[in-house]
Copies of this chain bind each other. A is one copy, B any other.
């Protein structure tokens, strides 16, 4: 069965969340006279991501969209970094929406434009719909369809998310390829029958990141970026 649709993880795979959040923090810090280590802040914010989704997964919280989980983590960090009082509520809302304004990796927009002529391109992200729509407008990401955990009421890597994506696209799992820079996401997709493409994003966690060299050989494709992905898919 031919692949008809590519579904994309977004944070880290399509956009460079870390540089973007650091940059937004630094700009806000300059305006408000705050000098903290914004890289440490960004990393701590992202570290709160999986545990916050686990609270939803385990029923400790009812369904809570990612904007609201981000805000809960942000409130904690503002206190930890001692800058809670230096920002007003509008500042905090603006900073929380930095995740709506993430910058694409250099190959993302042109790579997606190439892929768009041959495939349906959908997000398959834990970001809420409005976050993904606003990010796409901001970064120029040419999605055909926004699919979000919010539409399922489950966060990846719960199996329901991958199944629902196939249902919504009207495709069999084998007609859908999950594209991600994270192996656990692809392994979960594979368990539901989707094809898998691993994208190397060695800078996702910054210049000091230890590269993940032990890539699961079961993935259908391993690509250096979206142009490499387009090359490999057109050669198939």
Please determine whether B145 and A120 come into contact, CB atoms closer than 8 angstroms: no
State the CA gap A130–B166 with chains docked (Å). Answer: 10
Please determine whether B137 and A120 come into contact, CB atoms closer than 8 angstroms: yes
Please state the number of chain copies in the assembly. Answer: 2
State the CA gap A171–B144 with chains docked (Å). Answer: 21
Q: Could you say which residues of chain B place their CB within 8 Å of the CB of A170?
A: 67, 128-131, 134
Please determine whether A150 and B168 come into contact, CB atoms closer than 8 angstroms: yes
Q: Which of A116-145 contact B (CB under 8 A)?
A: 120, 122, 128-131, 133-134, 136-137, 143-145
Among B130, B131, B136, B169, the residue within 8 A (CB) of A133 is: B169
Closest chain B CB from A192 CB (angstroms): 18
Q: Could you say which residues of chain B place their CB within 8 Å of the CB of A122?
A: 133
- Secondary structure of the A contact surface, majority rule: helix
Size class of the A contact interface (CB-based, 8 Å): 20 to 34
Among B146, B150, B171, the residue within 8 A (CB) of A145 is: B146
Closest chain B CB from A146 CB (angstroms): 5
A72 within 8 A of B: no
Q: Could you give, for residues 3-40 of chain A, a 1 whenever the CB lies within 8 Å of some chain B CB and a 0 otherwise?
A: 00000000000000000000000000000000000000
A151 within 8 A of B: yes
Besides A131-B170, A134-B170, A151-B151, 20 other CB < 8 A contacts? A67-B170, A120-B133, A120-B134, A122-B133, A128-B168, A128-B170, A129-B145, A129-B168, A129-B169, A129-B170, A130-B168, A130-B170, A130-B171, A133-B144, A133-B169, A136-B144, A143-B144, A145-B146, A146-B146, A150-B168
9 residue pairs of the A-B complex, CB under 8 angstroms, read: A120-B137, A130-B168, A130-B169, A130-B170, A130-B171, A133-B169, A136-B144, A144-B146, A145-B146
